[in-house]
């Protein structure tokens, strides 16, 4: 089957979807992989930036918008993942529904996003370990964490899924604790807290009003919010290693969206109502501030452990995603064939090694050239999340349209995203608006300066190298 042509039956064969990978993960693994990829530094650390920019009420609105966009993207992803249950699937969706050049650009954009994230997660986790082991160099912890995550990914997809389940469970427990204890305190129940604890809604009105930086302040935070939600799309990456994808993928999608809505919006609401607007920043985790104000003993140490777990969990998902992207590119003929080789346990080992090297290269650049090379990489990574979401929604639009034009019926679809074509069009436009919004924020505008040219280079390279060749058959 040519890369550019959509399937007319709405699905592909089991053999095509598997390609030697083991279908060993269940719905609970998919949910926790998505939760593990999403709940990370974006919530535990960067949420302070969102409140500082948008104001308490503006931050809650920004996260509600983010949750709505995630729902729309996940609905589009659900239909595509059931139709194409293959590993590292984003670029295959785009390649088949839009064109192979778009698939190629999407794959490398997402690979680089997670490779940069790997280096960042290792560095941040190593720095946090300094709290307990100040005499041990950060690079030592970086190597230790890299070895642990590589081992978890190298054994089997089942081991990866199981480890990510427990990693994510720790983070989820911390978020639930914040929502329950913080929510109760805002209603007046805070026996360990000092006097003067704010009541529900008291902190929403700042000295500058409900929106201290205006509506523009809310708009320019949308990319940071979308980045905080990034990782939900990992369900699509793991589709090729999921047992009974037609059942487990839609189930995992619904469960993930509901939990993200509760956890993210609930957590940001508690933080916004608890932490005074003037005291929010990127320097201290809002979770530490809230638990400290509640009077929880050893709050800083507990949250230090949770945040390290969150960083390792995100890195675990990132390494998995990187390896599957390279495997999928090799499988399509757009990367060296050696990257598509599997071990007896169904692991793309060379792709995993190259991805780990990419993460370590990012780690080195963050130390050696933080204001040049690493700044470019981070900018592209921030741009990548929205770019991939745009690719998913556009792929869904063209896939469904081609399916219907070929005589397909909605009843034949294994999973059907609602409100077509309004849903994918709306999600795509909201992503575009978020990119326009960051152009007004000097600290985030570099994402456009480097992200857009990077995509252009990917398209140019693809057309130069593969343009004269027939699309690779399946």
Residues 384-408: tens digit of each pLDDT: 888 999 999 999 999 999 999 998 8
Per-residue pLDDT, 34: 66
pLDDT band at 349 (very low <50, low <70, confident <90, very high): very high
pLDDT tier for residue 242 given thresholds of 50, 70 and 90 = low
26, 111, 440, 46: which is closest to 267 by C-alpha?
Answer: 46
CA distance 433 to 414: 31
- Got the DSSP string for 364-384? HHHHH-TTTHHHHHHHHHHHH
- The pLDDT assigned to 10 comes to 41
Determine the pLDDT at residue 284.
73
| Dist CA 183 CA 190 (whole Å) | 10
Determine the average pLDDT of the residues in 130-152. Answer: 90
Which residue do the tokens 């305190």 mark?
185
- pLDDT for 366: 79
Q: Give the residue extent of every domain in the chain.
A: 25-466
Look up the CATH superfamily of 25-466. Amino acid/polyamine transporter I (1.20.1740.10)
Task: Determine the distance from the C-alpha atom of residue 37 to the mean position of all C-alpha atoms in its chain, rounded to a whole number.
Answer: 5
Radius of gyration of the chain, Cα coordinates, nearest whole angstrom? 22
pLDDT at site 9: 38
* Region class of 363: left (phi > 0), else alpha (psi between -120 and 50), else beta: alpha
Distance CA 91, CA 206 (A): 44
Q: How confident is the model at residue 50 (pLDDT cuts 50, 70, 90)?
A: confident
DSSP SS3 for 20: coil
Residue 25 confidence (pLDDT): 54
**Residue 470 reports pLDDT greater than 50:** no
Average pLDDT (98-113) is 90
Confidence of residue 205 (pLDDT cuts 50, 70, 90): confident
pLDDT band at 11 (very low <50, low <70, confident <90, very high): very low
Whole-angstrom CA distances from 190 to 18, 182, 203, 272, 376 are 52, 9, 17, 17, 45
Query: Which residues, at least 6 apart from 61, have a Cβ–Cβ distance to it below 8 Å?
Result: 54, 218
Q: 269-291 pLDDT, tens per residue?
A: 999 998 888 777 666 778 888 88
């Amino acid at each position: 089957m040519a890369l550019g042509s959509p399937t007319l039956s709405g699905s592909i064969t089991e053999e095509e979807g598997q390609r030697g990978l083991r279908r060993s993960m269940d719905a609970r693994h998919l949910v926790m992989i998505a939760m593990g990829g999403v709940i990370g530094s974006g919530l535990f650390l960067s949420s302070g930036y969102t409140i500082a920019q948008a104001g308490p009420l503006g931050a809650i609105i920004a996260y509600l918008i983010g949750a709505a966009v995630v729902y729309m993207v996940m609905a589009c992803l659900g239909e595509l993942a059931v139709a194409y249950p293959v590993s590292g699937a984003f670029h295959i969706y785009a390649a088949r529904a839009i064109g192979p050049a778009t698939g190629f650009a999407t794959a490398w954009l997402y690979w680089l996003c997670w490779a940069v994230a790997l280096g960042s997660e290792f560095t941040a986790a190593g720095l946090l370990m300094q709290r307990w082991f100040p005499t041990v160099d950060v690079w030592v912890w970086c190597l230790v964490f890299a070895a642990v995550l590589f081992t978890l990914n190298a054994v089997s997809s089942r081991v990866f899924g199981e480890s990510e389940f427990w990693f994510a469970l720790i983070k989820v427990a911390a978020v639930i604790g914040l929502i329950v204890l913080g929510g109760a305190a805002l209603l007046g129940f805070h026996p360990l807290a000092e006097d003067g604890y704010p009541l529900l809604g008291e902190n929403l009105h700042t000295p500058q009003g409900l929106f201290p930086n205006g509506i523009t302040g809310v708009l320019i935070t949308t990319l940071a919010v979308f980045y905080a939600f990034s990782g939900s799309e990992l369900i699509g990456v793991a589709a090729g290693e999921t047992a009974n994808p037609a059942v487990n993928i839609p189930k995992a999608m619904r469960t993930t969206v509901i939990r993200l809505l509760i956890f993210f919006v609930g957590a940001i609401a508690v933080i916004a109502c608890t932490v005074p607007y003037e005291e929010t920043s990127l320097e201290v985790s809002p979770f530490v501030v809230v638990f400290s104000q509640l009077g929880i003993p050893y709050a800083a140490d507990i949250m230090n452990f949770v945040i390290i777990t969150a960083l390792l969990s995100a890195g675990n998902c990132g390494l998995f995603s990187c390896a599957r992207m390279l495997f999928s590119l090799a499988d399509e003929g757009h990367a060296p064939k050696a990257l598509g080789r599997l071990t007896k346990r169904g692991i793309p080992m060379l792709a995993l090694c190259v991805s780990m090297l990419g993460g370590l290269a990012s780690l080195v650049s963050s130390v050696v050239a933080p204001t040049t090379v690493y700044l470019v990489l981070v900018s592209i990574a921030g741009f990548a999340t929205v770019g991939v979401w745009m690719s998913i929604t556009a792929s869904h639009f063209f896939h469904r349209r081609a399916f219907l034009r070929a005589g397909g019926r909605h009843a034949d679809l294994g999973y059907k995203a609602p409100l077509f074509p309004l849903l994918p069009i709306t999600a795509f436009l909201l992503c575009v608006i978020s990119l326009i919004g960051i152009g007004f924020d000097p600290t985030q505008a570099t994402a456009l300066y480097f992200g857009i040219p990077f995509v252009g280079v990917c398209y140019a390279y693809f057309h130069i190298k593969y343009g004269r060749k027939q699309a690779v058959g399946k």
